Amino acid sequence: MSPRVRNAIVVLGALLLIFIIPQVFATFAVSLLNDIGIAALVVLGLILVSGIGGAISFGQAAFVGIAAYASAWLVVAHQLSPWTGLLFALVLTCGSAWAIGAVTMRLGGHYLALSTIAWGLAVPLVIADTTALGAHSGIDGIAPIQIGPWVLDNANKSFVLVWLILFFGAWFAYNLLGSRVGRTMRALRGGKILLASFGADAFRVRLTLFVVAAAYAALAGWLYAHVNRYINTAPFSLHASIDYVFMMVVGGAAQLGSALIGSALYIGLNNFLQDLLPHFTSRGSQINSLVFALLFLLILERMPGGVGRPLSRLMSRLTRRSRFFRSRHLNISPDASYKLSRRALPQRGTPLVSVKKATKRFGGLVAVNDVSFDVHAGEIVGLIGPNGAGKSTMFNLLTGTLPLTDGAVRLLDVPTADLSQREIALLGVARTFQHVKLRPRMTLLENVALGAYARGHCGLWRGGLRLNGQEEHSIMAEALRQLERVGLADQAYELAGSLPLGTQRLLEIARALASDPVLVMLDEPAAGLRLLEKQALARLLDTLRSEGVTVLIVEHDMEFVMNLVDRLVVMNFGSKISEGNPAQVRADPEVQAAYLGGDA
């Protein structure tokens, strides 16, 4: 069965359920399901920003509140339609998320969480103090949503809309995470240096996630106001934000499906305890809180990935076995990769990199001291030296990962002093890292596709609405082509975390090549490789040179380097001590004394 037919069957099944449930369930159960659906929307956004993006937010309920009050106020005070209210709610909520995110998304660690707590506290306080918003009494008599002749004025009638929006929201998030922009979102935990290395801006990606999460909260707030027809500040307090974080953690922050699992577990259990506890004690609410605190601790201790993790493992085991779900592999036509933009390579022999008196100091330590050298287009140049000589620091200076203390670097005749790491990458400089930076829970194919990020154009909307088919196909074809070049195509659908370290270095090379680079900078690419793999790598680098790609390589394996490179630059204690072709460098007495010793 083709994936398209299979997906259509799944979608039709889900839609059928959405339409049948309000017909057969009692109003009480349907209204509980509405609460679960609305909460799941908020948690879906929270999973995106926190579970995927790694930026914990305790301010989601405040966004729900802004949207609920914005729409309710417009509809009640100005007699406008709830649909106009939705538009206003989305603009106001996303606008405020953008403004807050622009300040807080640069903050790391606890600061971000603290600033969202401040936000989560402030919003309900301000609303409760605003007379036009009903102050502490809230807003009553909010008009129900109307779709053509259907007035959704009770729980059963609202159910279909709530769950259709949740279904659409989940579909959008799922598509988004599988798209070009979504892959950068999933790579965020790898850090901003990784993202900049393929031309993405981590701050922008994180801010986008924050605004998208607020949009989900806005939809939930709008539904909440018009389904319940009455609002006050209680459901939008900091306490409610913490409840959403709880739902995310219980469900499992790493998978979208957990939004539903977490909110259903939380709201279902809460409801059950609220009914049960008054029969036994008058302190029901305290015991209720205690039960949730204990449950939270238990889940953190026993299931750190949440209840959703074992469930999703079970699902993937079942779907692997089932013929209905099995075809996981994409149908990629190899020549589709040529539809991506390609860079014109500079004429062989023209100056590509020019380093003039580069110096880098870390406090009193001079890691790179007054080093000058050039690299010409189409060459392979080796940067060698003993441990601590300053090679990786020089790489970081060339790629803009570290700023120069003194001196200058020009790439393609462009001075790089004022360029960010990302802007340097966009000039056509691709790199690998001494300590590999891969996303272990993404497949090999997806890791390499990250490298082609800057060659695509489809953004958030086209990714989320699946209007990116052709570009996505080209990116995946390019990723597969590069995996073939490094000999890993047969493992394309495996997780990168399952690879041995040496092979992970090859995967980084494939990712660097997917960016269609002018200059490839490889930091110890042969470390951990077996002899045959080293020979294959040397052949690949030789092919790149014949295609006109320039390679700068840091490597400790002298046999590998000497047989491969056109020229060598030798560093020791931060300074350049020699430069020339392999034979000249071997013969240099200073190099022999400092580095090559008896090998020369």
Q: Is 188 exposed, middle or buried (0-12, 13-18, 19+ CB in 10 A)?
A: buried
In the complex, the smallest distance separating the C-beta of residue 394 from ligand ATP, rounded to whole angstroms, is: 7
Judged by beta carbon, residue 426 or residue 527, the one nearer ligand ATP is 527
Contacts 24+ apart (CB under 8 A), 121-128: 121/238, 122/62, 123/59, 123/62, 123/65, 123/66, 123/236, 124/62, 124/65, 124/233, 124/236, 124/237, 124/238, 127/65, 127/69, 127/233, 127/236, 128/233
Q: What is the CA radius of gyration of the chain?
A: 28
* Tokens matching residue 534: 């080293």
Tell me the H-state helices in 427-495: 444-451, 460-464, 469-485
In the complex, the smallest distance separating the C-beta of residue 86 from ligand ATP, rounded to whole angstroms, is: 49
- Map tokens 């802007």 to a residue: 423
Judged by beta carbon, residue 490 or residue 590, the one nearer ligand ATP is 590
Q: Which of 351, 388, 502, 548 binds ligand ATP (CB under 6 A)?
A: 388
Q: Is 8 exposed, middle or buried (0-12, 13-18, 19+ CB in 10 A)?
A: exposed
Q: x/- binding map, residues 432-471, to ligand ATP, per CB under 6 A?
A: --x-------------------------------------
Judged by beta carbon, residue 268 or residue 386, the one nearer ligand ATP is 386
Q: Which of 186, 391, 439, 545 binds ligand ATP (CB under 6 A)?
A: 391
In the complex, the smallest distance separating the C-beta of residue 370 from ligand ATP, rounded to whole angstroms, is: 15
Residues 495-554 that bind ligand ATP (CB under 6 A): none
Encode 21-35: b = buried (16+ Cβ within 10 Å), e = exposed.
bbeebeeeebbbbbb
Residues 308-367 that bind ligand ATP (CB under 6 A): 362, 365, 367
Q: Which of 134, 169, 382, 385 binds ligand ATP (CB under 6 A)?
A: 385
Amino acid at 422: R
In the complex, the smallest distance separating the C-beta of residue 524 from ligand ATP, rounded to whole angstroms, is: 7
Q: Which residues contact 197 (CB under 8 A, 6 or more apart)?
A: 399, 421, 425, 430, 431, 433, 437
Which of the ranges 380-388, 459-467, 493-501, 510-518 carries the binding residues for ligand ATP, by CB under 6 A? 380-388
Q: Which of 22, 382, 390, 428 binds ligand ATP (CB under 6 A)?
A: 390
In the complex, the smallest distance separating the C-beta of residue 395 from ligand ATP, rounded to whole angstroms, is: 8
Query: Beta strands of 342-399 (E only): which ranges?
Result: 351-362, 365-376, 380-384
Judged by beta carbon, residue 303 or residue 366, the one nearer ligand ATP is 366
Helix (H, G, I), strand (E, B) or coil at 429: strand
In the complex, the smallest distance separating the C-beta of residue 432 from ligand ATP, rounded to whole angstroms, is: 13
DSSP class of residue 49? I
Judged by beta carbon, residue 68 or residue 571, the one nearer ligand ATP is 571
Judged by beta carbon, residue 196 or residue 231, the one nearer ligand ATP is 196
Judged by beta carbon, residue 388 or residue 487, the one nearer ligand ATP is 388
| Number of separate helices (H) and strands (E) present in the chain | 23, 12
- Residue 107, phi then psi, degrees to nearest 5: -80, 140
In the complex, the smallest distance separating the C-beta of residue 390 from ligand ATP, rounded to whole angstroms, is: 4
Task: By CB under 6 A, tell whether 392 contacts ligand ATP.
Answer: yes
Task: By CB under 6 A, tell whether 192 contacts ligand ATP.
Answer: no
Judged by beta carbon, residue 371 or residue 486, the one nearer ligand ATP is 371
Helix (H, G, I), strand (E, B) or coil at 321: helix
In the complex, the smallest distance separating the C-beta of residue 505 from ligand ATP, rounded to whole angstroms, is: 14
Encode 216-250: b = buried (16+ Cβ within 10 Å), e = exposed.
bbbbbbbbbbbbbeebbbebbbbebbebbbbbbbb
DSSP class of residue 304? T
In the complex, the smallest distance separating the C-beta of residue 427 from ligand ATP, rounded to whole angstroms, is: 23
* Tokens matching residue 190: 């790898």
- Map tokens 């939004």 to a residue: 259
In the complex, the smallest distance separating the C-beta of residue 389 from ligand ATP, rounded to whole angstroms, is: 4
Judged by beta carbon, residue 282 or residue 387, the one nearer ligand ATP is 387
Containing 204, the helix (H) or strand (E) segment is: helix 202-228
Q: Which of 208, 228, 393, 421 binds ligand ATP (CB under 6 A)?
A: 393
Task: By CB under 6 A, tell whether 265 contacts ligand ATP.
Answer: no
In the complex, the smallest distance separating the C-beta of residue 572 from ligand ATP, rounded to whole angstroms, is: 9
- By the criterion CB under 6 A, which residues form the site for ligand ATP? 362, 365, 367, 385, 387-393, 434
